Amino acid sequence: MEHNETEVVPLRAHPLALPTPTPVRWNRSARARRVSLRIDPRAGEVVVTLPPRSGRRAGMALLNTHAAWVKERLGSLAPAVPLAEGQAVPLGGLPHVIRHDPAARGPAILWQGEIVVAGDKAFLTRRVGDFLKAEAKRRIAVLAAGHAASLGVKIKRIVLKDTRSRWGSCAPDGTLAFSWRLVMAPDWVLDYVVAHEVGHLRELNHSDRFWAHVARLTPHREAAQDWLRRNGPTLLRVG
């Protein structure tokens, strides 16, 4: 069982100190064996995980010890991009400006490099999010069907998630799961991730046979992996 609590903590490290109050999410986990910390790029928070018998003093000591690392990692995060009018969000790797048009048809549509959102402006953020997820599901389904046909495998279903570390996964029952945020990546990056997970329908491992299947489906393995390492955290800052 885990319990999460977020607060803004003014870290006072010695001899280093972070210049501004830092959001820290305290995560007490029955499964944890030691105090640990990580950066949540989506929330822009430091996450400190405590075992059942460790107190916050141990967490603060770890934060102070690694203050320079925390400062560097938080400082390197891309700016947060809200789903708001006038903001540019990537779709297929290309920026699209969000524009509100109460008279437009449908909740949201693509039009000449814009995401045009209809209806009451109060629902704009939700409608843009729904549009991006629907577009992700549509694009992924098309790619997955083509790759599955090439390998002669069947997909049970496709689900979308909002994961922080895994872009895709394949369950033993043939269910494929993907982060909806992949719709913002270039098309060839999305194609690689879909090909990767479809490949697991033949080999639920990372053996040489598995990678041979992936190579049959897409030539973009190394470039896409590099792109996700460099730019994946930016996608987590949208919305």
Question: Which of 136, 141, 138 is closest to 90 using CA atoms?
Answer: 136
* Six-digit token string for 33: 């064996």
The mean per-residue pLDDT over the stretch 71-88 comes to 92
Contact predicate 177/159, CB 8 Å? yes
Residue 164 pLDDT class (50, 70, 90 cuts)? confident
Contact predicate 162/179, CB 8 Å? yes
Judgement on whether residues 203 and 116 belong to the same structural domain of the protein: yes
Judgement on whether residues 98 and 121 belong to the same structural domain of the protein: yes
The pLDDT of residue 20 is 60
User: Which segment of 70-74, 87-91, 140-144 scores lowest on mean pLDDT?
Assistant: 70-74
The C-alpha atoms of residue 70 and residue 81 are separated, in whole angstroms, by 21
pTM value surpassing 0.85 = no
The pLDDT of residue 136 is 98
3-class SS of residue 59: helix
Q: Could you tell me the residue range of the domain that residue 15 belongs to?
A: 2-75
Question: Which of 14, 77, 65, 71 is closest to 35 using CA atoms?
Answer: 65
Which DSSP helix (H) or strand (E) runs through 25?
A: strand 22-29
The pLDDT of residue 16 is 40
Residue 4 pLDDT class (50, 70, 90 cuts)? low
Q: Decide if pLDDT at 157 tops 60.
A: yes
Q: Calculate the average pLDDT of the chain.
A: 90
Judgement on whether residues 173 and 223 belong to the same structural domain of the protein: yes
